[in-house]
Amino acid sequence: MCDQTFLANVFGSCDKCFKQRALRPVFKKSQQLSYCSTCAEIMATEALHENETLASLKSEAENLKGKLEEERAKLHDVELHQVAERVEALGQFVMKTRRTLKGHGNKVLCMDWCKDKRRIVSSSQDGKVIVWDSFTTNKEHAVTMPCTWVMACAYAPSGCAIACGGLDNKCSVYPLTFDKNENMAAKKKSVAMHTNYLSACSFTNSDMQILTASGDGTCALWDVESGQLLQSFHGHGADVLCLDLAPSETGNTFVSGGCDKKAMVWDMRSGQCVQAFETHESDINSVRYYPSGDAFASGSDDATCRLYDLRADREVAIYSKESIIFGASSVDFSLSGRLLFAGYNDYTINVWDVLKGSRVSILFGHENRVSTLRVSPDGTAFCSGSWDHTLRVWA
């Protein structure tokens, strides 16, 4: 007698067609099922079909992207620095630290100006959020958040409230009160809920709406009063790190930048992505609109800042230098849009001539990386916050 191999056949009802047949074990998404031979064959061909479709879709997407680039290139007839040749060069800039705000016990992560041009709110790694009168360097309010790494903070347009959030995945709004007996933390309102850290937040034109960006890859618009989600914005393939609202009075758009190296412009009403730009080589840490609203600048870990024009639908300038090796963490324009201030991870601040593309000046002073930078609402100064626990106002 020779050895015989026995194939044990299990009879039963197929998990797909429910007919009584001989069954075979089949694995779908790491779950074991029992299919009859016919259903198993069908599943095999389906999978093949899906793979083919995936590959063909991928190539179609690549194709279309290439065609889109061609279309964009057709209208590109001149470079910015060529056009800017006839503009007068800027003179020597002497900018110094005019105020140093000391008081945070740990890295300063974010700051925002109040519309009164002198008050500032800043947040830090140890959970402290402080409101300063930066002209006198007095601290006016302080709140301790229940979480560390408060990476986002914003001042309300009325100046009566602040919003902040970070590793707690939430955005909380605190009304500012001058009553010494009242505890600010008691009136806290939890507005936004994300599934990952909050990286940026901003009030829209009023105190009642907040726009947030999060490490879960989405942005969202919230109603402050009720905490209701008004609109969410999906499209980024990785963490969203920054956002900025357009200054236009008829437009309803904002731009966001993320770890997927994309900067995306969104329509707040419909939640759709209107335009996307993908030319950076690394995470985009900061985006800021040009004062006219027709363009925006972005700062990235690839050590460059880039200017994207919304009407031409392309990148129009790169601000980089071989000696600048570290990423730009935050950017902002001066009032006229002629100067671009960028804070870098090598503790410096570089000032760029937006039109000519050249660097005007480099500012030293911070002793650790510059994490946040904003120009004051009337353009008289700009403030930078750093991991060296201080904020500096420069003019």
Shortest spacing between CB 34 and another protein, in angstroms: 26
CB of 61 to another protein, least distance (A): 4
Q: Which of residues 17-46 bind another protein (CB under 8 A)?
A: none
- For residues 246-305, which are near another protein according to CB under 8 A? 247-251, 259-260, 269, 273, 275-276, 281-283, 290-295, 301-303
Binding-site member from 19, 28, 65, 139 for another protein (CB under 8 A)? 65
Shortest distance, position 63 Cβ to another protein, whole Å: 9
Instruction: Give 156's contacts (C-beta < 8 A, 6+ positions apart).
Output: 162, 163, 173, 203, 207
Q: Which of residues 218-237 bind another protein (CB under 8 A)?
A: 223-226, 228, 230, 235, 237
Binding-site string for another protein from residue 161 to residue 200, where x marks contact by CB under 8 A and - marks none:
------x----------------------------xx---
Residues 378, 385: Cα–Cα separation, whole Å: 19
Ramachandran region of residue 249, left (φ > 0), alpha (ψ -120 to 50) or beta?
alpha
- Residue 393 in contact with another protein, rule: CB under 8 A: yes
Asked if 331 and 280 touch (Cβ cutoff 8 Å), the reply is no
Site string for another protein, 347-386 (x = CB under 8 A): xx-----xx------x-x--xx------x--xxxxx----
Stretch binding another protein (CB under 8 A), from 20-28, 31-39, 75-83, 137-145 = 75-83
Beta bridge partners of 330: 343
The answer to whether 317 and 333 are in contact (CB under 8 A) is: no
Quick one: 174 or 277, whose CB is closer to another protein? Answer: 277
> Rounded to an integer, what distance in angstroms lies between the CA atom of residue 252 and that of residue 28?
45
Rounded Cα distance, 364 and 174, in Å: 34
Answer yes or no whether residue 335 interacts with another protein by CB under 8 A. Answer: yes
Alpha-carbon torsion (318, 319, 322, 328), positive or negative: negative
Does 147 interact with another protein (rule: CB under 8 A)?
no
Closest by Cα among 281, 261, 313 to 70: 313
* DSSP SS3 for 384: strand
CA dihedral 122, 124, 127, 132 (to 10 degrees): -30
Out of 48, 142, 318, 325, the only residue in the binding site for another protein (CB under 8 A) is: 325
Residue 160 engages another protein in binding (rule: CB under 8 A): no
- Of the pair 21, 392, the CB lying nearest another protein is at 392
Judged by CB under 8 A, the residue of 172, 202, 286, 345 near another protein is 345
Which of 72, 121, 138, 170 contacts another protein by CB under 8 A? 72
Give, in order, the Cα–Cα distances in Å from 117 to each of 371, 374, 381. 21, 12, 9
